[in-house]
Amino acid sequence: MKNVLMATAATLLATSAMADVNIGNPMAMTGPIPDLNAPIAAAVDLAATHVNAQGGMFADGEAFNVIRADSACDPTAAVDAVTKLINVNGVSAIVGPVCSGATIAQAESVAIPAGVLTLSVSASSPAISTMEDGTDLVFRAAASDAYQGVALAELAMANGYSDIAVSYANDDYNAAIAAVFVEAFEGMGGTVTANEAHEPNKASYRSEVATMGGTSDNLALFSYYGSGGITLMRNALETSAFTNFIGADGMLSDELIEQIGAENLMTSTFTTSASDASTPSFAAWAALADEAGVPASDPFVANGYDATFMMALAIEHAGSDDREAIAASLRAIASGPGEVILPGQWAEAKAILAAGGDINYEGAAGNQDFDENGDVAGNFSKSTIVDGAWAAELIQ
Amino acid sequence: MEAYLGYGLYILSLLTVGGIYAIFALGLNVQWGFAGLFNVGIVGFAAVGAYSYALLTTAESTFHLGGFGLPLPLGMAVAMVASAFIAGLIGLICIRLRSDYLAIATIGIAEIIKLILKNESDITNGPRGINKIPRTWEHFSEERFYSSWPMSWFGTPENWDAFFDSLPNWYWQPLFAGTILLVVYVIYRMLERARMSPWGRMMTAIRENESAARASGKNVTRRRIEAFVIGAAIMGLAGALFAQHLRLIEPTQTFDSAKVTFLVWVMLIAGGSGNNKGAILGAFLIWTIWSASELIIGGAINLIGAIFTTMDASILQTRAGFLRMMLIGILMQVILQRYPGGILPEVRPASPKADTKVAGTTGETK
Amino acid sequence: MWDAFGFEFVNFYFIPGLVLGCIYALGAIGITLTFGILRFANFAHGEIMMSGAYLTWTMMAIAGAAGLALHPLVAMVPATFIVILLFLGTDRWFYKPFRKEDTIKVVMASFGMMLIIRSAVQVIWGPNQLTFVPGIARPNATLQQITGDLGAMIIMPNKHIFIFAGTVIIVIALSYLLNRTRIGKAMRAVSDSPDLAHVTGIDVDRVIRATWIVGGICAMAAGVFLAMDIQMLETTMGFRMLLPMFAAAILGGIGKPYGAVFGGLVIGLAEELSAYPWIGDAPLLSPGYKTGVAFAIMVIMLIVRPQGLFKGRSF
């Protein structure tokens, strides 16, 4: 049975040429956040399209293939998917899992033991900084919660909230960032009047909202818009429990405007990784994304593009798709010194690398300079409603 | 050559995960196949086992309680005991419920266990879970193991470090898979003995005709609790191995009842409930289909895209995961209808000489 | 917060609890009838609710493309027929083969159906959320004013009034069906004792079809009401209602439709009231445990009184 299946699988996979550069891309296609995941996957594909449209990989223009698998935001599925990507598809590196749990599990269980580099698009758990033992194989293109939580607390202070109620979805991403926020906000002299977890995906949050609404007019909401965030916000607005809302990038989405209505969101501010259109790198990205119909400032979409683009640059820099060389190259192309490369400038980067020059990728979601843990520092912007759409402004 | 190594490693991973599920299925077979206890809370016992193992064996951590750094076999033993203990408590109050009611009670209890693991974050690190769980064989190459006893008796840390560097980076994979297969075999032999023993025949009697068994002086409730506890202990062990395989556990997605409980049930029913060989066969078969279907569906969509170039296959690609779930659901319906007794139906142990024909024809049992 | 003259317990806890309870109740009616008459726990029930809501959305979208703005309650009528066909089709192809077999088989089959239906919806409509009704539902001003003049201001948006009214109408129609019509009486008879019912010459197949139709209508209503309340559609919305609905069915007693209604209301209220600050300022129970309320009630009920409050059948 197994042999038959393997043979079938091998035959079917043979449709993709072996000489190309293949990277694995496990994404949360199914599972709890497929809606959040879909635009990120589109951004990953967009980056690959740009690479292939502008000359492909290496001197002979090999195709840059993104082999997608389903990590379902689930450690079990992620480990299984990445096992297949590494062993059966033979990918050179992993750009991938969306969720922190899936990222850590696939890295510790499969990728690190196999010596394959992981560049996560959106894993934000602080545990990722400390998970490696003597290897340099896990990077991420999204800032750790530690940065965004503090940025949000400063924003709350700047907005003049002296007291705030905190409600966070009890999942790996939101629980972590809420904890950082509470600590930072209290450290700055603010009062947290209530700090409650809520279970994602419930039909009603009215009673929670009402109870917390009795303590403060301001709500810090940490949730995914797709798994309860919109419902909670709607319940809060319906009962008028809160006047002002702030939150992290899990909530920032055009979906929110479509469902709740821009006129109801005038008192809401959400942070996200830097997406100020006045910076050249984000402007370049926004233009490319708009052209391709990808929502440029949805959560982690820019990070997805950056991760894929940087991976292609790293492989180009390494000069081969051997797994060993990529990690060092990733550090080399992501930070200075070198010619600044913006999103979409593949042909330019390729020419510089071919001439033996250095490049420094400045990403859509930030400058993407990795520290010794393979983390990037965050630049954040705050988004508010201007003329019925989200408008971002750099805050840090 | 490297490609074949990759295929080999993938097959090893299929054996590893299939083996872990086979242990789950054997545990469920004790409860359902032997004693007719409809347990839909497998995920709860798996979680208890996995978390006990993880808390006891991980290195000290600031994220969760302890990280007690205990030896791995001790962690696995405690996982079994903890799971058995919880099962004992549940058994004492719920075992008199029959069939569907026990099912719903166990599903509710499993969800409550998961909620506790998720909300008591001081102990379990809540939804972010526990990582760096040591995996059998691979853990020897971790510094905290090779620099302490008993490994430090045989070589200095430097020697060990050099030794592990000289091994290929997948050295632990065949060993880990072999260990799991060995555990499956040991449990299988023990359960086969139990099944053939008077205890096993008494279980069948209770399952088939409770009042007759009660009338002939059997302590039905006690036997039921025994089966429930033994099954749960086996599931606890499987949970611990599951944690080793994943190296990170968190309460929501890892222990999603659709993916653990449901899959194990499909494995047992497809393989043949009441038949230990069937349980093992079902586990390997269904896991292989589950895992390999992603490759096949992905390839099939590429093929469709390559043949019908005018068609846009991208929407299919983004929804391939759902298509896969749907096909698995349909496959399950086909197995249920085509093989009502499972692929290997139960063979009755009682009076083997007289009963062989009957067992062959009845096939499916309650 | 709306100034509710100290009436916030009713407005922010009791009424939301009842709204949730109504949805649970309608879903639980179908579950309890299948459980009572076909004798299995139908895990696909939540998915039928969900697919019903999606079909309603599609009807609204089709009508919207033709320039016609349909109210969900109107659009749900044609969608109901499709859902009933879906119910009857699954029964014919996936449940009927196991009628004489052990319960586990058909429970597994329903579990498989759950996967198939949900994945089918995800393949067809995609995994993204769909907006059912955009915007924020403001309280009904008339009701607010009238009750405000009486000194007990009720703050309730129109959608909740629709949900209450719809639930009351369906429950009244159901009680008429069960008590006054031949088929309804036959359903009750089969639920109470299938063997006896068979001996008295009741056409069991017809009763089963009627069960699916009644369950289908209730599930449909539950799904649409849920979508009206949360104002969006999402593919796991049915599944996450499933266990609370089981809890409601068990609380009320298996095979007892009125019990299911009562159980649904109790579970809905218990979930919402668990976050009321009974002691001090903080919610009584951390909202992280909110889901656990229904399970806890269910487990305690099974242990203490498995036949349910309304003396349903105990296995």
pLDDT over threshold 80, residue A17: no
Of A16, A99, A108, the CB nearest to B302: A16
Touching check for A211 and chain C: CB below 8 Å? yes
pLDDT over threshold 50, residue C175: yes
**Greater model confidence, C45 or B355:** C45
Best of B165, B247, B263 to disrupt the A interface (most A CBs within 10 Å) is: B247
Q: Which residue of B has its CA nearest to A84?
A: B10
Residue B366 banded pLDDT, cuts 50, 70, 90: very low
Are A15 and B306 an interchain contact pair (Cβ–Cβ within 8 Å)? yes
Touching check for B107 and chain C: CB below 8 Å? yes
pLDDT at A61: 87
Touching check for C205 and chain B: CB below 8 Å? no
Span C55-84, mean pLDDT?
90
Residue C36 banded pLDDT, cuts 50, 70, 90: confident
pLDDT over threshold 70, residue C315: no
Question: Tell me, what's the ipTM?
Answer: 0.88
Q: How far is CA B69 from CA A86, A271, A312, B47, B206, in A?
A: 31, 40, 40, 19, 43
Average pLDDT of chain C is: 87
pLDDT over threshold 90, residue B110: yes
Compute how many other C-beta atoms are within 10 angstroms of the C-beta atom of residue A67.
Answer: 20
Average pLDDT of chain A is: 86
In whole angstroms, what is the distance from residue B26 CA to residue B40 CA?
A: 14
Residue A255 banded pLDDT, cuts 50, 70, 90: confident
Span C42-52, mean pLDDT?
92
Are C232 and A259 an interchain contact pair (Cβ–Cβ within 8 Å)? yes
Are B11 and A2 an interchain contact pair (Cβ–Cβ within 8 Å)? yes
Touching check for A200 and chain C: CB below 8 Å? no
pLDDT over threshold 90, residue B23: yes
**B248-302 pLDDT tens trace:** 999 988 898 878 888 898 899 889 888 999 999 999 999 998 888 888 887 888 7
Are B105 and C120 an interchain contact pair (Cβ–Cβ within 8 Å)? no
Task: Choose the weakest-confidence range: A217-221, A375-379, C226-230.
Answer: A375-379
Total number of domains in chain C: 1
pLDDT over threshold 90, residue C223: yes
A19-142+282-361 with A146-266: one CATH topology?
yes
- The CATH number assigned to the domain with range A19-142+282-361 reads 3.40.50.2300
For the ranges A171-180, C220-229, C251-260, the maximum mean pLDDT occurs at C220-229
Best of B101, B334, B346 to disrupt the C interface (most C CBs within 10 Å) is: B101
Touching check for B118 and chain C: CB below 8 Å? yes
What is the domain range of residue C214?
8-238
Best of A238, A244, A265 to disrupt the C interface (most C CBs within 10 Å) is: A238
Q: Which residue of A has its CA nearest to C279?
A: A211
pLDDT over threshold 80, residue B152: no
**Using a CB-CB distance cutoff of 8 angstroms, which residues of chain C are in contact with residue B328?**
115
Touching check for C20 and chain A: CB below 8 Å? yes
Q: How far away is chain B from the Cα of A334, in angstroms, using its nearest Cα?
A: 28
Are C122 and B322 an interchain contact pair (Cβ–Cβ within 8 Å)? yes
Mention the CATH class of domain A146-266.
alpha beta
Chain B contact partners (≥3 CB pairs within 8 A): A, C
**Using a CB-CB distance cutoff of 8 angstroms, which residues of chain C are in contact with residue B111?**
243, 291-292, 295
**Using a CB-CB distance cutoff of 8 angstroms, which residues of chain C are in contact with residue B269?**
104-105, 108
pLDDT at A322: 84
pLDDT over threshold 90, residue A127: no
At position B304, the amino acid (one-letter code) is: I
A301 and A292 Cβ atoms separated by less than 8 Å: no
Best of B40, B89, B111 to disrupt the C interface (most C CBs within 10 Å) is: B111
**Using a CB-CB distance cutoff of 8 angstroms, which residues of chain B are in contact with residue C288?**
115, 118-119
Best of A172, A223, A321 to disrupt the B interface (most B CBs within 10 Å) is: A172
Task: Choose the weakest-confidence range: A287-291, B311-315, C33-37, C63-67.
Answer: B311-315
pLDDT at B95: 82
The DSSP symbol for B255 reads T
pLDDT over threshold 70, residue C120: yes
Residue B114 banded pLDDT, cuts 50, 70, 90: very high
Q: How far away is chain C from the Cα of B272, in angstroms, using its nearest Cα?
A: 12
Q: How far away is chain A from the Cα of C78, in angstroms, using its nearest Cα?
A: 25
Span A328-350, mean pLDDT?
88
Are B325 and A171 an interchain contact pair (Cβ–Cβ within 8 Å)? no
Touching check for A174 and chain C: CB below 8 Å? no
For the ranges A167-176, A380-389, B9-18, the maximum mean pLDDT occurs at B9-18
Q: How far away is chain C from the Cα of B217, in angstroms, using its nearest Cα?
A: 23
pLDDT at A275: 65
Nearest one of C271, C274, C267, C222 to C247, comparing CA atoms: C267
pLDDT at C62: 92
pLDDT at A4: 53
pLDDT at B83: 96
pLDDT over threshold 60, residue A357: yes
Are C230 and A34 an interchain contact pair (Cβ–Cβ within 8 Å)? no
Q: Which residue of C has its CA nearest to B97?
A: C315
Residue A274 banded pLDDT, cuts 50, 70, 90: low
Span B85-94, mean pLDDT?
90
pLDDT over threshold 50, residue B360: no
Label each residue of chain B as H, E or C. Answer: CHHHHHHHHHHHHHHHHHHHHHHHHHHHHHHHHHCCCCCCCHHHHHHHHHHHHHHHHCCCCCCCCCCCCCCHHHHHHHHHHHHHHHHHHHHHHHCCCCHHHHHHHHHHHHHHHHHHHHHCHHHHCHHHCEECCCCCCHHHHCHHHHCCCCHHHCCCHHHHHHHHHHCCCCCHHHHHHHHHHHHHHHHHHHHHHHHHCHHHHHHHHHHHCHHHHHHCCCCHHHHHHHHHHHHHHHHHHHHHHHHHHHCEECCCCCCCCCCCHHHHHHHHHHHCCCCHHHHHHHHHHHHHHHHHHHHHHHHHHHHHHHHCCCCCCHHHHHCHHHHHHHHHHHHHHHHHHHCCCCCCCCCCCCCHHHHHHHHHHHCCCC
Residue C211 banded pLDDT, cuts 50, 70, 90: very high
Domain ranges of chain A: 19-142+282-361, 146-266
Q: Which residue of C has its CA nearest to A231?
A: C230
pLDDT over threshold 80, residue C39: yes
In whole angstroms, what is the distance from residue B322 CA to residue C115 CA?
A: 9
Are C118 and B325 an interchain contact pair (Cβ–Cβ within 8 Å)? yes
- Residues facing residue A359 across a β-bridge: A339
- C88 falls within a domain: yes
Are A80 and B17 an interchain contact pair (Cβ–Cβ within 8 Å)? yes
pLDDT at A16: 44
**Using a CB-CB distance cutoff of 8 angstroms, which residues of chain A are in contact with residue C230?**
203-204, 231, 234
Q: ∠ CA A119-B134-B284 to the nearest 5 degrees? A: 85
pLDDT over threshold 50, residue A14: no
Cβ-Cβ contacts under 8 Å for B222 (sequence gap 6 or more) = none
Are A12 and B2 an interchain contact pair (Cβ–Cβ within 8 Å)? no
Of A194, A201, A239, the CB nearest to C12: A239
pLDDT at C221: 94
pLDDT at C262: 93
pLDDT over threshold 50, residue B130: yes
**Using a CB-CB distance cutoff of 8 angstroms, which residues of chain B are in contact with residue C35?**
100
Query: Of all residues in chain A, what percent carry a pLDDT higher than 70?
Result: 93
pLDDT at C312: 64
